[in-house]
Chain A
Amino acid sequence: MNMMQDAKAAAMENALKISARGVDVFYGDTHAIKGVDVEIADKMVTAFIGPSGCGKSTFLRCLNRMNDTIDICRVTGQIQLDGEDIYEARVDPVQLRAKVGMVFQKPNPFPKSIYDNVAYGPRIHGLARDKAELDGIVEKSLRRAALWEEAKDRLNEPGTGLSGGQQQRLCIARAIATGPEVLLMDEPCSALDPIATAQVEQLIDELSSRFCVVIVTHSMAQASRVSQKTAFFHLGELVEFDDTDRIFTNPSDQRTESYITGRIG
């Protein structure tokens, strides 16, 4: 697996997708993210780890401007997607989020049919000219989310009727239906059982050949299983960012070692 990760890392070394420089985030008076610089490569999985409250989710939400929806939240510094500043005035956050999709901790399908859950994004963004094209997008998305075989005969049943693991894969299908380039995942497996978790991890691995995937996880084992790069956050700072196998075998920062080996929470 390491050889595979190494090969993947080497091949993709130069394909920079997201670049953050000097990013600070404030919630009112609270300084939640402190001067984070990070470069995230395309077509691989980058994991953010760190104790609760370390800022990893906050930083993840900066990457598709989800923090815009919180009034007291202020983001400074620069975040570029493909060299373009995503916080520039002319950038439409809704368009940005179509390019940078997101999957949340708890599966949150819309109270609609499986089909409509997946078709929702393509419809509002006008990505399909007719029903046949929309059908095609729905099928392709469900296939990529490894849900097609289980869902193809019940596309008109409510998405909420699926099992937890299936619901999460439905949310992933919904997120990739708009043809995003980046997929942000905030603890996508923490509400799932081990089998559903393994299925989602397998899916993440497959998706990484097509997308830039950034995953926030509390599970160190999950970060080590699915990611090629790992960033360790602590108290709002990015402490260490390196190849995943390096972080989990011989990290350079004492705080990283203490956290991953279960010595500080």
Chain B
Amino acid sequence: MENQSHILRAFDRDLESIQAKIMKMGGLVEAAIAQAATALETQDADLAQAVRAGDKAIDALEHQVNEDAARILALRQPIAGDLRTVLTVFHLSGSLERMGDYAKNIAKRTGVLMAMAPINGSAKSLRRMARQVELMLKDALDAYIQRDADLAADVRARDLEVDQMYSALFREYLTFMMEDPRNITACMHLHFIAKNIERMGDHVTTIAEEVIYLVDGAYPDDDREKGDQTTQGGANGG
């Protein structure tokens, strides 16, 4: 379908333009994740500030994408695969916008953490976790633009690793806090950062599921294995 153009070519241009905006948003979010993690690791206040300021551009793109999508619905009345393309765009822009917010929140907490005594090795683990999510996002966006449901399914499966990393960090921070109450403030911030990254992974999973819906016309119905054990009492240290 994708290599066959519409008889009315303006319709193709509309669909291409809106998908280009999604890819642009995706690029900005990938960069925001990487920069937020780097700023945290290198204690770079300027970079953290840049991430916070950059979120405005992501928000603006989300509004543009949603307005364009509404216009396509009203003027072109898309159906079948075209309709799924437009519906998917709404979900993708929403997920990407949320991911941008999480990156911004990480940058905010970085500023607070810089005023405190560093917690041993924590920034490196968070950096690894962020890197994992960033790669998942890159693959999810590749799967989107190439209409590759297999790659999307692979991305979806990889969220398990992010969840496991989060569970491990949760336990680690808990241990630090129990060892020395003076660590609590920093560890609370670090925990929120880990949670933010874990949430980003969930949004990437949503994007991957949207790609599967876009390609197959149905959402995957199997239950994914969940790696987050923190709500099941398995990580409370006792």
Contact = CB atoms under 8 A, between A and B. Distances in A.
A167 B80 CA distance: 35
Interface in A235-263: 248-251, 254, 257-258, 260-263
A62 B81 CA distance: 33
Contact of B82 (A221, A254, A261): A261
Contacts of A248: 79-80
Contact of B80 (A221, A251, A264): A251
A128 interface: no
A262 B8 contact: yes
A250 B215 CA distance: 10
B83 interface: yes
Contact of A249 (B5, B6, B217): B217
B5 A257 contact: no
Interface string B85-120: 000000000000000000000000000000000000
Contact of A263 (B7, B78, B218): B7
B83 to A, nearest CB: 7
Nearest to A257: B80
B190 to A, nearest CB: 45
B231 interface: no
Interface string B1-38: 10011111001000000000000000000000000000
B80 A250 contact: yes
B220 to A, nearest CB: 15
A263 B4 contact: yes
A262 B76 CA distance: 10
Contact of A220 (B11, B79, B217): B79
A221 B78 CA distance: 10
Contact of A262 (B11, B84, B217): B11
A246 B88 CA distance: 18
A160 interface: no
Q: Which of A249, A257, A261 has the most CB of B within 10 A?
A: A261
Given A221-B77, A257-B80, A261-B79, A250 B4 contact: no
A83 interface: no
Contacts, number: 42
Nearest to A263: B4
B218 A261 contact: no
A265 B7 contact: yes
Given A249-B217, A263-B7, A254 B1 contact: yes
Interface string A14-55: 000000000000000000000000000000000000000000
A260 B83 CA distance: 11
Contacts of A260: 79-80
Nearest to B76: A262
Given A221-B77, A224-B79, A251-B80, A261 B1 contact: yes
Contacts of B84: 249-250
Nearest to A248: B79
Nearest to B7: A262
Interface string B191-210: 00000000000000000000
Interface string B37-71: 00000000000000000000000000000000000
A250 B7 contact: no
Contacts of A261: 1, 6, 78-82
Contacts of B5: 263
B100 to A, nearest CB: 31
A258 B1 contact: yes
Nearest to B213: A250
Nearest to A221: B77
A148 to B, nearest CB: 34
A174 to B, nearest CB: 33
Interface string A194-223: 000000000000000000000000001100
B112 to A, nearest CB: 48
Interface of A: 220-221, 224, 248-251, 254, 257-258, 260-265
24 contacts: A220-B79, A221-B77, A248-B80, A249-B79, A249-B80, A249-B84, A249-B217, A250-B84, A250-B217, A250-B218, A254-B1, A257-B80, A258-B1, A261-B1, A261-B78, A261-B79, A261-B80, A261-B81, A262-B7, A262-B8, A262-B11, A263-B5, A263-B6, A264-B4
Given A249-B84, A261-B78, 19 more contacts: A221-B77, A224-B79, A248-B79, A248-B80, A249-B83, A249-B217, A250-B84, A254-B1, A257-B1, A257-B80, A258-B4, A260-B79, A261-B6, A261-B79, A262-B8, A263-B1, A263-B4, A263-B6, A265-B7
Interface of B: 1, 4-8, 11, 77-84, 217-218
